[in-house]
Structure 1
């Protein structure tokens, strides 16, 4: 046996120089190969190695990322895999959790759920839990997915203060030619140049980031679409207005007053806008600070608008009632044949008086109408030709009646002010405003917001100074209303229709 071992060693020593000579000859031959010949040889060697590897591969956990992804897709969802863009992070399950038979494996991988975002594709194999990965390569395998050249990209933009249309288009990656083509689409296109901060645009980009659509979202129910079209060598945008119809639901709310209308309404889940509208409806008969008492009760029926099952806004008040000091006031919404809408009581008398009893929801009267009042700042006896309504800064101020703004400005004594002329005989003035919301010459409706309570000019605290003039003469706003024209009453024919 020792002799055999010695013979083998001797034979190996004799063949070693032969192997070294063969190695030298092969190396010399490789050095003489051209680049093309070397490439062909390398391809042949790799093909042989790949064939051996495929013949040995029997465990699904060692499959390539491309194979796993493609095996989990249907024919409709398969797309080529590219290694230039998006990274695919594929977490494979552990080897122990994978079924062994081909049929079970196919069913297992068909359950893979892929979550895709702009940078990654995550595969979640449910219901099998992810335990320890089979290998580092299978846990953090990297590849890339090709983004389809025809994929649609949607970009949402909200106009900011200081924005113009060109700036918004530039943020999306579009150029001045795109802006020009959209603006030239007609009046709606030109209107895009007059948009305000907070308005929304949606851009639809196609192949090579080409602009396909611009959508101006005017409301959840209305949008204007500018759609690219090509006629010959001319590109233009046509306009399509899209409107949707909301589902209208009627809502009933009722509550007793324990402190103020606004707080009691809030506890009854009534929004501020509905509360303000209700106060405007009854504003001609009830002063919601001086007249309100604990134990008063209100009831309101109004509309809510829903789109795709979600509430988008509130609609009109259909009917409302308010019980104050033993008297109940009812109001019903009615639109006459001329299209004028108002609220009327059960006798067909309009709830809307010529003027509101108070032009805001105030806390208290801090100073009454007094022709011999001592001014709190100048300490000089000077007529106080109006009423001071104390209220928090920013409280909305309403126009007391229909009219036209005769002045809107600022002075040292009055601060920010608004004057409104109501026909030929009446004028109302609103002083010390924090902010003005109307301009000179603008027409306003009763209950329209014209500014906010503030403390500008000669002022000792946030309040509204309100004046009422009849033919140029100051009158007490709290007593003059009784002498003003009565409310509108429906004629016999309209009343019959209203009562029907």
Structure 2
């Protein structure tokens, strides 16, 4: 009898601990069935129930772990969470971008209009940029990007005049528009160049695949010492150390020429070292004297002399001998012309055969005349 009670209690404990619930009458019936078997058979049946019990618990735990892994993985689970996810997606802001480019003859407003930008956005952008960006300096191939929300309200505007000139408009937390010029991150590399003159300084620097701007800057350093139009000689040598700026590994422009040297057979060795003290910058020679304090030798560096100064020049049109008390320099239209020294503008306008002319007074009885100009600088 004691053995039957033990079996009954054991079966009851197994069934109660299991996730499967058995009612008391069924539990009693199961115990009576077990009592009819031989004791060895009873033990085997109890062992079977124990094994089934632990397997049931193991499967249950595996299901629970799988459920949580599925949920943590980020996949939607049917229920309230799935509705919350769908609801949040409805409130994600959608934006659209309008990308445009200034074409010849365009104003900013006309370019916006041709790209479908409505009048309110056009006026808000122009108003925000006013005083921050000079609209007169706009040029073809300038690019802009407008970012708008679903309602067509301006979120941001980016205007690129070049790799170094980027202006932006952004909406402030208060809802107003604020414009500013962006600081562009550049990589500065210091480069040393050394060469020999065979035909011209232009050709020598072109061999390094350098821009003409570098030639003009180099020539300007020694403008009061040598005329690169007429005084360069075969075999002259030059050397310079210059800053070159890169944006995203692409060359965008030159910085300062830090060191410049020119060994001329005509005027001797020349040196210039760049110094910036208290915001005042200049080039000095090896003795500490500032370069460029006197008149420069040529107002158009690297230009070709088409007609020199002479008292007995034969006029190319009239075919008579007439003094030519000046120097004609041939250069492409739009080439900048430098003043030979500081001075006051005494005249700027049209003057007979000189066409557009400027007269500068340098004091001490010195005046310089600049004629046949294509236009006047601002």
What's the TM-score once normalised by structure 1's chain length? 0.51
How does 1:156-171 map onto structure 2 within 5 Å?
156-171=99-114
- Equivalent-residue separation in structure 1 for 2:321 and 2:134 (angstroms): 55
Shift of 1:397: 3.1
CA deviations on 1:116-139 (whole Å, 9 max, x unpaired) are xxxxxxxxxxxxxxxxxxxxxxxx
**Unpaired stretches in structure 1, ≥5 consecutive residues:** 1-73, 77-147, 440-500
Greater gyration radius: 2
- Equivalent-residue separation in structure 2 for 1:320 and 1:392 (angstroms): 26
Alignment-derived partner of residue 243 in structure 1: 183
Q: Report if aligned partners of 2:274, 2:283 keep a CA contact under 8 Å in 1.
A: yes
CA deviations on 1:323-366 (whole Å, 9 max, x unpaired) are 011832111001123x2211111111122132211122233452
Q: 1:216 to 1:268 in 2, by over 3 A?
A: closer
- Equivalent-residue separation in structure 1 for 2:303 and 2:129 (angstroms): 47
Which deviates more, 250-259 or 397-406?
397-406
Shift of 1:159: 2.7
Q: Report if aligned partners of 2:305, 2:327 keep a CA contact under 8 Å in 1.
A: no
- Equivalent-residue separation in structure 2 for 1:153 and 1:192 (angstroms): 27
Q: 1:392 to 1:195 in 2, by over 3 A?
A: closer
- Equivalent-residue separation in structure 2 for 1:428 and 1:150 (angstroms): 65
Alignment-derived partner of residue 177 in structure 1: 120
Q: Report if aligned partners of 1:254, 1:268 keep a CA contact under 8 Å in 2.
A: no
Alignment-derived partner of residue 197 in structure 1: 139
Shift of 1:381: 5.0
User: 200, 207, 210: which one pairs with 1:267?
Assistant: 207
Matched, 1:415 2:355: yes
Shift of 1:309: 2.5
Shift of 1:160: 3.2
How many residues align? The count is 288
- Equivalent-residue separation in structure 2 for 1:156 and 1:427 (angstroms): 52
Shift of 1:247: 1.5
Q: Secondary structure at the match of 1:321?
A: strand
How does 1:34-45 map onto structure 2 within 5 Å?
none
User: 433, 436, 448: which one pairs with 2:375?
Assistant: 436
- Equivalent-residue separation in structure 2 for 1:367 and 1:251 (angstroms): 37
How does 1:39-54 map onto structure 2 within 5 Å?
none
- Equivalent-residue separation in structure 2 for 1:362 and 1:166 (angstroms): 40
Shift of 1:438: 1.8
Alignment-derived partner of residue 155 in structure 2: 212
Q: 1:174 to 1:149 in 2, by over 3 A?
A: farther
Q: Report if aligned partners of 1:364, 1:391 keep a CA contact under 8 Å in 2.
A: no
- Equivalent-residue separation in structure 1 for 2:134 and 2:233 (angstroms): 50
How does 1:81-96 map onto structure 2 within 5 Å?
none
- Equivalent-residue separation in structure 2 for 1:413 and 1:195 (angstroms): 32
Q: Report if aligned partners of 2:166, 2:184 keep a CA contact under 8 Å in 1.
A: no
**Unpaired stretches in structure 2, ≥5 consecutive residues:** 1-72, 76-90
Alignment-derived partner of residue 270 in structure 2: 329
Shift of 1:241: 4.0
User: 228, 245, 254: which one pairs with 1:314?
Assistant: 254
Alignment-derived partner of residue 303 in structure 2: 362
Alignment-derived partner of residue 236 in structure 2: 296
Q: Secondary structure at the match of 1:413?
A: helix
Alignment-derived partner of residue 97 in structure 2: 154
What's the TM-score once normalised by structure 2's chain length? 0.66
Shift of 1:187: 4.5
Alignment-derived partner of residue 389 in structure 1: 329
Q: Secondary structure at the match of 1:291?
A: coil
Shift of 1:193: 5.2
How does 1:471-482 map onto structure 2 within 5 Å?
none
CA deviations on 1:238-291 (whole Å, 9 max, x unpaired) are 234421331111011111111111111111333211111111111211121322
Which deviates more, 374-383 or 342-351?
374-383
Matched, 1:350 2:293: no
Aligned CA RMSD, in angstroms, stands at 3.1
